[in-house]
Chains A and B, each alone.
Chain A
Amino acid sequence: MDTFLQQLANGLTIGSMFALVALGYTMVYGVMRLINFAHGDMVAASAFVGLTIYTEVLGQATSLFAVIAIFMLTAVVMAMVGIILERVAYRPLREAPRLSAVVSALGASLVIQNGIMLVWGPRMRIFPELVPQVYWDFGGVVISLIQVIILVLSLILMVALYLFVEKTRIGAAIRASSIDQDAARLMGINVNSVIALIFIIGSSLGAVGGLFIGLYYRGITFNMGWQYGLYAFIAAILGGIGNIPGAMLGGMLLGLFNAFIAGYVSSTWADAFTFILLILILIVRPTGILGERVAEKV
């Protein structure tokens, strides 16, 4: 039972990080029908940007204010990178065959990954210990302060995003553009602004996810984006890509599943089991758990 509760706590922590990153994939996919392969590397980059902001801008201060400042500044920087990414790599390909944009995304991923390596070097860097090491022991189940912060903050962000997309006028524009871009344009929605906004939101959520990865795992490497990105992408697919609550659900499920595999089976098989789960779910539900069945357009 202890293992169960412990892995439940770990799984929810990892799951909320996956979910934050998965939202970036799913929102871009929802509007542009594009798998943004560079998103994982954006997440990795944000951990490094956060590191530099900590050492260079804030002079290694560790106060509550400093932590908030790191999150805010990193999110702003990554949102700008996201806009540039969309402008340079994706906008010129909007009318092109879909797979061309995928290759462009892979190219952008290489650029960002190797850009990180050129700026911060190929070796692993250690993320600063911004959150004090506080642990609570509930009868054998250990939960750390950082886990609580990650879980609570992620949930707040996800609920805020959900309300934003469902309840505001701008959210309605996002939903309209994801259903039919041309029709949305005819209704006076500026689809270019919507896409820019999608990249701002997705990249800032990814930035928060990247900082969480840095805070939780501590060691950050220039090529970690592929690994976390792939998991987050699976989470998005699992929930039904393009679907915002789906990404949250997929992320949480994937995190829990991973934690239980690591706790009960063996971590050397974690990837294989994850993909077998994914494949089985897709065979039963070809568009993910919450994905809608889309009729082929004739």
Chain B
Amino acid sequence: MKELQKFAYPVFFVVMAVLPHMLDDRWQAVAITFLIFAVVALSQDIILGKCGMFNMGQALFFGMGAYTTAILNNEYGWSILATIPLAIIIPAVFGILLAGPIVHLRGDYLLVVTIGFNIVFVQVLQNNLGGITGGPNGIFGLDSLSFLSYDLTSQISVYYFAFIVLLLTLWVMHNLAGSKPGRAMHYLREDQLAAESIGINTRIYKIFSFGLGAGIAGLAGTVYATQYSAVSPEAFEFIQSVLFFSIVLVGGSSVPGVLIGVFVMFVLPEIFREFATWRYFIFGFAMIAAMILRPRGIWPATFGKIPKFLIKDNNHGA
């Protein structure tokens, strides 16, 4: 697997870099959404896969980033790129504040509470709280991308914007994997009690994972708002969180796994669009089959540094 990855990553980057020039408009849009969903799924992976917290509300942070960009652009006339810092910080702060009181909840209770946050968020958007979210229609007519004095209106420039965000996210993920918080999160996912007993402050790292995941999802939200130059509540419904949740688990908690997950769960249904009414029926069976055949995901995480004979199969975590 390691050898394959060494070879596969450059190929993947090159293919993704030239891809938009070979696609028509509709598939370019699909490719952009693929990149955005990949970023959100990776941020979900930090919380769900790396830290083992059953979070089913990732669309909340994704939406919060998108709405931050939309409101700042539409109401206050900030350029899209200038909204990025706040579109990361606001969801991250909310992630920390929301996670604080709930991270001690047992798995399934946490799951339902995060669903709850997501539904409350969508209802707040729909009821136009504070008069800035635009109600059920959302906010539309955002500016297109512009950098210095260049106007980047074309879909291809949005694609590269999304691609850069994905690369940035991959860089963060790569650094996280070897860092102190990354190792702590891995440990607490495998065995929380053992992690606590050697002095890891599990609470802090759980909240940290929410903050980081929320910030990255918020950044993806900015790209999303740019792509459609609009935001509306139904794009961030809890069913969307279910999608991100399933992507990580079907793909497996690794970077290639998450990317494969996004491809399988989002791009494949797009390809089979002509079978409109049948596709999700078959898709459901495919999800069941995927889990039976590969319970840890299509491409599960591997931890290279531990010798093989020391790893015993266990059933904790994702």
Contact = CB atoms under 8 A, between A and B. Distances in A.
Contacts of A282: 102, 105, 109, 113
A92 B290 CA distance: 12
Nearest to A101: B291
Interface stretch (A71-79, A111-119, A151-159): A111-119
Given A89-B288, A234-B112, A275 B120 contact: yes
Interface residues of A, number: 50
B284 interface: yes
Contacts of B291: 93, 96, 100-101, 103-104, 107
A291 to B, nearest CB: 9
Interface in B29-87: 54
B302 interface: no
Contacts of A133: none
A134 interface: no
B280 interface: yes
Contacts of B105: 282, 286
B108 A97 contact: no
Interface residues of B, number: 48
B111 interface: yes
Contacts of A101: 291
A40 to B, nearest CB: 12
B250 interface: yes
A271 B291 CA distance: 32
Interface in B285-313: 285-288, 290-292, 295-296
B138 interface: no
B120 A286 contact: no
A292 to B, nearest CB: 12
Interface string B107-132: 11101110111011001101100000
Contacts of B280: 110, 113-114
Nearest to B108: A35
Interface string A97-137: 11111111011111111110110000000000000000000
A151 B145 CA distance: 58
A113 B246 CA distance: 17
B281 A103 contact: no
A32 to B, nearest CB: 12
A180 interface: no
Interface in B256-293: 277-278, 280-281, 283-288, 290-292
Nearest to B300: A97
Contacts of B284: 107-114
Central interface residue in B192, B280, B291, by most chain A CB within 10 Å: B291
Interface string B180-209: 000000000000110000000000000000
Interface of B: 54, 101-102, 104-109, 111-113, 115-117, 119-120, 123-124, 126-127, 192-193, 239, 242, 245-246, 249-250, 277-278, 280-281, 283-288, 290-292, 295-296, 315-318
14 contacts: A29-B108, A35-B108, A96-B315, A99-B54, A107-B288, A108-B284, A110-B287, A114-B284, A234-B116, A269-B123, A275-B117, A276-B116, A282-B113, A283-B102
Enumerate the 4 nearest inter-chain pairs by beta-carbon distance, A residue then B residue, closest first. A107-B287, A110-B284, A275-B116, A111-B284
Interface of A: 29, 35, 88-89, 92-93, 95-104, 106-115, 117-118, 226, 230, 233-234, 237, 241, 268-269, 271-272, 275-276, 278-279, 282-283, 286-288, 294, 296, 298
Given A104-B287, A276-B116, A287-B109, 10 more contacts: A96-B315, A98-B315, A102-B249, A103-B249, A104-B292, A107-B288, A108-B288, A118-B277, A296-B193, A298-B193
